[in-house]
Amino acid sequence: MGDDLRQDQATMLLLREMNAIWADAGAPCFTCTYDIFPTRDRTGFIEALSNAIAVKDVEFFTYSRELHDSAVGAFTAGFVLGLADRHQDNMLLCGPNRELFAHIDFGYVAGMRPWFDANLLPIPERFKNCLTAAGKWSAFVNDMGFAFAVLQQRRSELCTVAMTLSEQLATVGYPAYIEKTLTSNTIESVRAQVEAAVGDIARRFKNLHHKLQH
């Protein structure tokens, strides 16, 4: 029992739609998805992700194309959907080699936030260090901009899906939030925010606060 899983399920459907849009546009990025089955308001079943580990427990990242592409998808999706409360227990690595980024826990969406939160691009410093060492950080920043641009061009499709989920999402502000995010940002502004994200002081305090609370 816990958060309203209908909201989690609806958010997951939006992530699946993003994956379909990216694939159709030939973008290699994606975000990990999994099944969520609500049975009542605050009960249901969530598919377990194989070999999953919380990002906070990852001592260092090993670069791979799968890590790169899934992180581009995960962080772009999180930014567009306004996924908040992204401390490092709510981000996982999963898959056989633990190289796929995945979001869990969608209790705060569409820019809704707990009383203290980080920015909407909570990129771990260890992750940036990994990409920098592999000579891939600049490519990652550019790929984030491209992934955003694809969603921006196809925003009517994404907003239509959000509209069909209005019963689950009416109280959180979709599709208006998605529309606003995709029209008020540019490729350049997204790339600039990605570059600045790792040094965000609020992100550091968010992770420290969560660690002290748990």
**Domain enclosing residue 169, as ranges:** 5-213
pLDDT at position 199 is 75
Residue 67 near residue 102 (C-beta atoms within 8 A): no
Backbone phi, then psi, for 96, in 5-degree steps?
-55, -40
Q: What is the CATH number of the domain that holds 147?
A: 1.10.1070.11
State mean pLDDT over 56-84.
96
Reported confidence tier of residue 108, pLDDT bands at 50, 70, 90: confident
Tell me the C-alpha distance between 126 and 58, whole Å: 9
Average pLDDT over residues 163-185: 85
Instruction: Specify the 3-state DSSP secondary structure of 104.
Output: coil
How does DSSP classify residue 46?
E
SS3 106: coil
Tell me the torsion sign for CA atoms 179, 184, 189, 194: negative
**CA within 13 Å, CB half, 48:** 4
Residue 43: other Cβ atoms inside 10 A: 11
Cα–Cα distance between 190 and 172 in angstroms, integer? Answer: 23
Average pLDDT over residues 43-69: 95
Domain count, the chain: 1
Can you give the pTM of this predicted structure? 0.90
The Cα 42–Cα 25 span in angstroms is 36
